A and B are shown apart, each in its own frame.
Chain A
């Protein structure tokens, strides 16, 4: 009885989470102007797949958008992996004065909402002449990384037995060799998690590209979706068709790497 109750609860929760996604797909297949005036999932006129090419055309040069977004996402993933794993390794395994205090400081920055940093960061990048380039979006990941990912790497590196590090040192590795040849290959679960989290966050990011990317040729997919907002109305059907297309890689990545993703969620509760 209790098992059935649990299942019922899970089905109800799953339905609640799936509803917006299902509505998006249904709306994307409605004829123009019909999505908001009808009950959800009511499709009397058949499926309007032509919304998809129309949406793609409205978004502009779709190849360029996909390339920009892919480039940006790949650079951010590499940046996060490099910076956060190095910082996590240093905090976990290297001995230096003020290490723990510095780590606390890094953790404390998690409490700063990104909006607080937006203006000083924008002024900094404007002074460097980097506005309307991808650098303001990539550099923060390479030169700092996300504190949460640093924390994740540190916790994982701490869980690797110290004897492995010492064996590697006796075998001829220095700090970099230990990181590159022992720690990093062993940290594959965290690498996967950080890569997926970063992919989802960067691919879907609207806010930072909106601040820094002005010219049409630098636009990303998420920015291009905004072009469906017209002066007096929103082209809901096309917007939903465009959103479905933009979201598809995220869903694909999530379903393919579901296990890694869930392991990452569990890792974030790892002991230290």
Chain B
């Protein structure tokens, strides 16, 4: 396993910057989740690390060694792709053994290791099948086995769970967490899924428009977002952000006031009118309009949701209120 360091990385496509002067260090054995909206440059960043794209400027260093000039196959990294990218003409065993074949490992040895990797993921019985005959979850496991068979220095995972159904996603999340723990591997994981980011990452790095916004442990980023973007991006539903009269009512005049939907309480200084109620069973999402026409969302226990059109008064505990600069969006402490 190894550390990863990105120094001043830049990448543009057709004059449009996709990664802007990005520096980041991932420690040996760490699970870092890159999270951000579509088009923010997170997949490009992963491809730069893998060597599938060349940076316009900056350096990629794996274990202290700059690898900019190395081919992807020479960087000793393994990558799991969104669509699994299993070779359709090869059986599962051959798919998993393929990186070892390219590395010149003798046939018997590579088959043994491929079978071990398949067994580790609980799919040893699929060795003789072609990928087309596997379910999405099985294909995902084969892709993981192919990544870990060569014991790379670094695992790169590009939205690997985005194509599996919700139940399987939860299962695979747990599997990935277990694999990371067992292998003590350095992993960089790209996702736009908040739950994956919050549950998997030892640290998360939030990206927007090719720039790193914040890096830190998931709960820290969730609780103390450094700017409006991070505040509005993390969390489902995301943080409520209000300005003007509504912010002043909450005791934050002249700034953007933010509060998590689950931390708001009924009974307080902020007047709101209910526009929509979504009953989720375990909780109710109450959408309401506040002064200035802005929408907010509240999470209330089931059965406590008011009806549509009802007038509410909303309160936010002082410690749950975040303040952001209305100009550059930075956090104000």
Q: Which residues of A contact B (CB under 8 A)?
A: 161, 163-164, 166-174, 177, 182, 185-186
Asked whether, in the complex, the Cβ of A167 is within 8 Å of the Cβ of B81, the reply is yes
B21 at the interface (CB under 8 A from A): no
A174 with B85, Cβ < 8 A, contacts A166-B52, A167-B79 known: no
Known: A166-B52, A167-B81, A172-B99. 18 other contacts (CB 8 A): A163-B85, A164-B88, A166-B47, A166-B50, A166-B72, A166-B79, A167-B87, A168-B87, A169-B52, A170-B51, A170-B72, A170-B79, A171-B73, A172-B73, A172-B74, A182-B87, A186-B88, A186-B89
Q: Name the residue of chain B whose CB is nearest to the CB of A160.
A: B88
A173 with B85, Cβ < 8 A, contacts A166-B52, A167-B79 known: no
A164 with B85, Cβ < 8 A, contacts A169-B72, A170-B78 known: yes
Closest 9 A/B residue pairs (Cβ): A172-B102, A172-B73, A167-B85, A163-B85, A171-B99, A169-B72, A185-B89, A170-B72, A170-B79
Give which listed residue, A161, A172, A173, A185, contacts B83 with CB less than 8 A: A161
Distance between Cα atoms of A161 and B77 in the complex (Å): 21
A174 with B82, Cβ < 8 A, contacts A169-B52, A186-B88, A186-B89 known: no
Distance between Cα atoms of A205 and B103 in the complex (Å): 46
Asked whether, in the complex, the Cβ of A163 is within 8 Å of the Cβ of B82, the reply is yes
Distance between Cα atoms of A172 and B83 in the complex (Å): 19
A163 with B83, Cβ < 8 A, contacts A170-B72, A171-B98, A177-B102 known: yes
- The interface residues of chain B lying within 8 Å CB-to-CB of A171 are 73, 98-99, 102, 146
Asked whether, in the complex, the Cβ of A172 is within 8 Å of the Cβ of B103, the reply is yes
B72 vs chain A, min Cβ distance (A) = 4
A174 with B73, Cβ < 8 A, contacts A185-B89, A186-B88, A186-B89 known: yes
B69 at the interface (CB under 8 A from A): no
Distance between Cα atoms of A174 and B77 in the complex (Å): 15
A166 with B99, Cβ < 8 A, contacts A171-B73, A174-B71 known: no
Asked whether, in the complex, the Cβ of B81 is within 8 Å of the Cβ of A169, the reply is no
A169 with B73, Cβ < 8 A, contacts A163-B81, A163-B83 known: yes
Distance between Cα atoms of A229 and B236 in the complex (Å): 86
Asked whether, in the complex, the Cβ of B73 is within 8 Å of the Cβ of A173, the reply is yes
In the assembled complex, 24 residue pairs joining A and B whose CB atoms fall closer than 8 Å, in A order, are A161-B83, A161-B85, A163-B85, A164-B85, A164-B88, A166-B47, A166-B50, A166-B79, A167-B81, A167-B85, A167-B87, A170-B50, A170-B73, A170-B77, A170-B78, A171-B99, A171-B102, A172-B73, A172-B103, A177-B102, A182-B87, A185-B89, A186-B88, A186-B89
Interface centre among B50, B52, B146 (most CB of A within 10 A): B52
Asked whether, in the complex, the Cβ of B85 is within 8 Å of the Cβ of A166, the reply is yes
Mark contacts of B71-113 with chain A using CB atoms, 8 A cut-off: 1 yes-contact digit, 0 otherwise.
1111001110111010111000000001100110000000000
A186 vs chain B, min Cβ distance (A) = 6
A173 with B102, Cβ < 8 A, contacts A164-B87, A186-B88, A186-B89 known: yes
B106 vs chain A, min Cβ distance (A) = 15
Distance between Cα atoms of A174 and B74 in the complex (Å): 10
A176 vs chain B, min Cβ distance (A) = 12
- The interface residues of chain A lying within 8 Å CB-to-CB of B146 are 171
Distance between Cα atoms of A182 and B74 in the complex (Å): 19
- The interface residues of chain B lying within 8 Å CB-to-CB of A174 are 71, 73
Give which listed residue, A166, A172, A185, A186, contacts B81 with CB less than 8 A: A166
A247 vs chain B, min Cβ distance (A) = 35
Q: Name the residue of chain A whose CB is nearest to the CB of B89.
A: A185
